Each structure stands twice: as C-alpha cells, then as structure tokens.
C-alpha cells in the first residue's frame, strides 16, 4: 500500500468512529488529521489546478458557517463524482490556511449521512497544537468558584506590572478534560521584558490558588481564541488600570503564557 493509501486508512478509520456526542472519537480524528504522516486530504478545487496561483478551494455553507469540502482518499474522490481538479495536502497545512479565514473543513460531503464537518476553531487547534487548546465545544460562564485571595493578589500584582491594561475571567468547561479558570490578559506591551513581567505576575499570584484548581491565561488580543471572544462579548474587567486613573505605557498585544497549576 502506498504512503497516501496508508494515510487515508488512518483518517478513514477514525472518521468511521465519529458519531454525535463521541467527542473522544472526534479527538482521534483531529489527531489523525494533525499528523503529517497520516493526515492527507484531497481538497476539491472549484477553480484552477493544483499548485497554480489561481487555484481556489470549493466552498459550502452549513448552518451559516463556511467550510471547504474535501475527500479522504482517491477511492472517495472517485465515489464523489468530482470532475474538476483537486489537490492532495496535509491536514495540518490546510488547517493553517483555513482557520485564519474562519473556514472549516468538511470531510466526504458525498458520503451517506453527509460526512463530517470540522469547524474552524478545531482547525485552529490542529494548526497551533491540539494539546495547547481545550477541546470544544466549550461551555463558558462567569466563574462561581470562590477564590477571593487569588483575585486580590492578582489585582495587586497587576497594578504593579505596567504592561497590564486589564484582567477578565471565565469558567471554561471543555468537551473533554477538567474545567478551569481562565484569566484574560489585556496588555499594552509585547516586548520580551513585558512578557516576562506578565508571566512573573501570574507565577507570583498562583500561590493563592487552592490546590487542584487549574488556572490558564488567554490573550485578549487573540481574535481567533474562543475564550477571548467570549470574554470580549460577555464580561467586564475585574481589574482595569485606566479606570483607576493610571498612566498606561505604549505598545499593544500579547502572546500565550502557560497553564498554571498550584
């Protein structure tokens, strides 16, 4: 069997296990697509030829969301009846392209039952690392966990950290894995020194977190992160430097600090 044939078998084996509510099987499919040795897909081209500058992926819309259709093997390509050109690419590569356009990937739309759609948020997880992002769909809400000492210490340390503009919070329940407290970081400065200062602020503050409570951070400037999007739309800062009349430094943005556990 060819390398592409072996890749198709691994993706298609995972695909057959995916059913509504089987998030564990869905994660296996995402991992197969994220692995360069197994995650090849046959992208259907609506216009142009593979490798040409004018090549355009096909487009479809499901429930108001855009997807690019593909098939998972040469056999599925034949079964689909697609008569135009196509392009064989790694799932990781196409994920990096599509999620930035807020487009998902739809596997085997010709198949009985209509195939399986992967939303752009999960393509982002493939592109940036499945283990770095929580498994969706996420359930997001205001935190009800009582950690006043942590919030007080974090607020105090934030006020001493000039790079921090404001802080928000959310309770995140992934589809798989334990729930956690997310702290949204809105900062002025992206310089290495500023990033280090914010990381130190979090490390100093988690000493007040009760044992067993995971705390993560999210960049409020990240336009693709679902937690940051929810925080921008649904929460107010629990710390806001400018509301306290402090003079902000210049600059903007921020990257991802790690997950903190106490």
Q: What is the pLDDT at residue 254? A: 34
CATH number at 139-244: 3.30.70
pLDDT at 245: 59
pTM attached to this predicted model: 0.82
Q: What's the rounded Cα separation, in Å, for the pair 149 and 97?
A: 43
Residue 160 is given by DSSP the state T
Looking at the chain, the domain(s) classified CATH 3.30.70 span 139-244
Residue ranges matching CATH 3.40.1350.90 in the chain: 3-132
Q: Tell me if the domain spanning 3-132 has CATH number 3.40.1350.90.
A: yes
- CB within 8 Å of 162: residues ≥ 6 apart: 188, 189, 194, 197, 248, 249
Buried b (16+ CB within 10 A) or exposed e, 185-195: bbbbbeeeebb
Tell me the pLDDT of the chain (262 aa) as tens digits: 444 444 456 889 999 999 988 999 999 999 999 998 778 999 999 988 888 888 899 999 999 999 999 999 999 999 999 999 999 999 999 999 999 999 999 999 999 999 999 999 999 999 999 988 899 899 999 999 999 999 999 999 999 999 999 999 999 999 999 999 999 999 998 899 999 999 999 999 999 999 999 999 999 999 999 999 999 999 999 999 988 655 544 433 333 334 444 4
Cis amide bond preceding 239, omega within 30: no
Half-sphere exposure of 124 (CA within 13 A, CB side): 17
């Amino acid at each position: 069997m060819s390398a592409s044939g072996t890749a198709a078998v691994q993706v298609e084996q995972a695909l057959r296990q995916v059913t509504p509510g089987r998030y564990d099987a869905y994660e296996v499919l995402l991992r197969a697509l994220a692995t360069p040795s197994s995650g090849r897909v046959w992208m259907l081209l609506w216009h142009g030829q593979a490798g040409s500058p004018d090549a355009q992926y096909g487009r479809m819309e499901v429930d108001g969301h855009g997807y690019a259709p593909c098939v998972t093997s040469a056999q599925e390509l034949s079964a689909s009846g697609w008569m135009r050109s196509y392009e064989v690419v790694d799932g990781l590569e196409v994920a990096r392209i599509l999620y930035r356009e807020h487009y998902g990937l739809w596997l085997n739309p010709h198949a009985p039952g209509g195939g399986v759609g992967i939303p752009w948020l999960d393509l982002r997880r493939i592109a940036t690392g499945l283990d770095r992002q929580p498994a969706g769909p996420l359930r997001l809400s205001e935190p009800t966990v009582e950690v006043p000492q942590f919030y007080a210490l974090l607020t105090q340390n934030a006020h001493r950290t000039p790079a921090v503009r404001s802080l928000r919070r959310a309770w995140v329940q992934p589809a798989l894995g334990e729930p956690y407290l997310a702290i949204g970081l809105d900062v002025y400065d992206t310089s290495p020194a500023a990033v280090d200062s914010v990381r130190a602020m979090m490390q100093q503050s988690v000493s007040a977190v009760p044992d067993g409570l995971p705390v993560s951070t999210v960049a409020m400037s990240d336009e693709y992160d679902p937690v940051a999007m929810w925080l921008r739309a649904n929460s107010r800062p629990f710390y806001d430097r400018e509301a306290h009349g402090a003079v902000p430094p210049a600059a903007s943005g921020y990257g991802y600090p790690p997950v903190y556990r106490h």
